[in-house]
Amino acid sequence: ARAYAMLEASYAARGIEYTQARKRMARMPRGADLIDNPVSVAPGFRIGNVHVMAGVPSIFQAMLDNVVPTLKAGTKMLSATVPCPFGEGLIGGPLGDIQKAHPDTIIGSYPKYGDGKFWTELVVRARSQEALDAARADVEAMVAGFASNPG
């Protein structure tokens, strides 16, 4: 009812007929909360954690600006990258051991090729700086150990 009234008032103020097609833009699911549309008036809606907004990029952005402050955010995921000149075949076992020793982290290995060489990018992710730093230190020590004794 609120969306219908908003659109009806907007069209009346502009002297535009409120046609059946325009009235359809006011249809909202029962229990929906409206998302303000400062560009073209026709609101979007939210039900639970589902947000429905216009598809026109400029209208979507204006509506999104109203939605973002209402979103709940969890703890940020932190990450650190450790370059490794060795392949996954060599470091896989020790890297798995480091992952087991740091269960509050996620450690990924990403094979790379550049400048005529293969290497591996090791990425450590964690939600706390302490967990990130501890796992990264172990990963860096592993890489340094292989560098000093590649056999």
Q: Which DSSP string corresponds to 71-84?
A: ----PPPEEEEEEE
What is the CATH T-level fold of the domain 78-148, as seen in this structure?
Alpha-Beta Plaits (3.30.70)
* Structural fold of domain 2-70: Molybdenum Cofactor Biosythetic Enzyme; Chain A (3.40.980)
Amino acid identity, residue 48? G
Global pTM reads 0.58
Q: What is the pLDDT of residues 54-67, one digit of tens each?
A: 889 999 999 999 99
Tell me if 79 sits within 8 A of 131, measured CB to CB. Answer: no
Alpha-carbon distances of 17 from 22, 23, 38, 61, 100, rounded to whole Å: 9, 10, 20, 27, 67
Residue ranges of the domains in the chain?
Answer: 2-70, 78-148
Residues linked to residue 105 through DSSP beta bridges, in sequence order: 126
Residues 105-129 have a mean pLDDT of: 95
The pLDDT of residue 55 is 86
Buried b (16+ CB within 10 A) or exposed e, 71-108: eeeeeeebebebebebeeeebeebbeebbeebeebebe
Task: Answer whether residue 150 shows pLDDT above 70.
Answer: no
Q: Over the stretch 85-100, which tens digit does the pLDDT of each residue have?
A: 998 999 999 999 999 9
